[in-house]
């Protein structure tokens, strides 16, 4: 797909989404679009609704009002959480959730199984396309030298990469990543930025992060979320100079 046509298509479309918890409006008429192969970087203060937005996209939370479409035809509000993952939306939570007692290889292999869970099928074998894909992903996540290590023995950063690798095994159209570099060393953060840049153009990505240098590396444009809706959008320099953004977020 060319970049020109990508701009006229949507991968994800949220329109007028609101949700309240005990009277508190966590999302307030939120509208946001992710285009095919776009990297949408999102910043915003704690409590802005960033994680709640991902909960809504993945079917974990239902909005009180609004519409959520995947592509131009799939109404995500009509699908269950497990179906949404199958449709091609992969989500990375803040904490890594790899299987600590399995090797790196086994974790990636397991990610291909679509029986939604932890049960290991004794008869599962990778076909050659899947093996090639696994090898390619190992390269991407910098774990080619660690295939037989127990996931539990990896560093925090490596666990995060492994989990991203597990998502990639499913070849998602859209990846949602919530604070992927939190707790990483500077070097791990830099390598993660590199990793994300290799994903750019192959998947649509929505990345929530507080680390500004990381954000600057992965995307020219950022969207600022505040009080459950979009406060500003522009280059990082533009939003960093925006009085409203400084007031609610950067100035603190
Ligand atoms: N399931 C829930 N039940 C009650 N309150 C929630 C729930 N999820 C989020 N909230 C509230 O919604 C607001 C937005 O939270 P969140 O989306 O986690 O913000 P962010 O990720 O931007 O820091 C917070 O005030 C949070 O306490
Ligand atoms: Mg959050």
pLDDT value, residue 96? 78
Average pLDDT, the chain: 91
Q: What is the dihedral of CA 132, 138, 144, 149, to 10 degrees?
A: -110
Q: Quick one: tokens of 26?
A: 């966590």
Ligand nearest to the CA of 224: 1
180 lines ligand 1 (CB under 6 A): no
23 lines ligand 1 (CB under 6 A): no
Boundaries of domain holding 96: 3-250
Main-chain dihedrals φ then ψ at residue 114, nearest 5 degrees: -105, 15
**CATH code for the domain of 53:** 3.40.50.300
Query: What does the chain come to in residues?
Result: 252
Per-residue pLDDT reduced to its tens digit, 176-186: 999 999 999 99
Residues 6+ apart with CB under 8 A from 84: 57, 58, 59, 70, 76
Whose tokens are 């179906």? That residue is 83
For the entire predicted model, the pTM comes to 0.91
| Residue 251 exposure: Cα atoms within 13 Å on the Cβ side | 9
Mean pLDDT of 92-119: 81
Residue of 21, 27, 43, 176 to mutate, ligand 1, most atoms within 8 A of C-beta? 21
Number of domains in the chain: 1
Element (H, E) at 18: strand 12-21
Distance 232 CA to ligand 1 centre (A): 20
């Amino acid at each position: 797909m060319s970049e020109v046509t990508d701009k006229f298509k949507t991968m994800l479309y949220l329109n007028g989404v609101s949700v309240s918890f005990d009277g508190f409006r966590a999302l307030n008429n939120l509208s946001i679009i992710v285009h095919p192969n776009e990297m949408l970087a999102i910043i915003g203060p704690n409590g802005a609704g960033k994680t709640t937005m991902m909960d809504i996209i993945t079917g974990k939370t239902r909005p009180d009002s609004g519409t959520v479409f995947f592509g131009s035809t799939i109404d995500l509000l009509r699908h269950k959480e497990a179906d949404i993952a199958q449709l091609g939306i992969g989500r990375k939570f803040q904490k890594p959730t790899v299987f600590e007692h399995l090797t790196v290889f086994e974790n990636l292999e397991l990610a291909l199984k679509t029986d939604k869970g932890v049960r290991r099928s004794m008869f599962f074998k990778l076909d050659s396309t899947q093996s090639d894909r696994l090898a390619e992903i190992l390269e991407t996540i910098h774990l080619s030298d660690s295939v037989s290590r127990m996931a539990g023995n990896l560093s925090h950063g490596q666990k995060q990469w492994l989990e991203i690798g597990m998502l990639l095994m499913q070849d998602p159209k859209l990846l949602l990543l919530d604070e992927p570099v939190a707790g990483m060393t500077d070097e791990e953060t830099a390598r993660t930025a590199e990793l994300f840049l290799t994903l750019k153009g192959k998947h649509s990505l929505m990345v929530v992060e507080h680390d500004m240098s990381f954000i600057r590396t992965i995307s020219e444009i950022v969207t600022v979320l505040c009080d459950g809706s979009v406060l500003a959008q522009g280059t990082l320099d533009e939003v960093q100079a925006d009085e409203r953004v400084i007031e609610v977020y950067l100035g603190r």
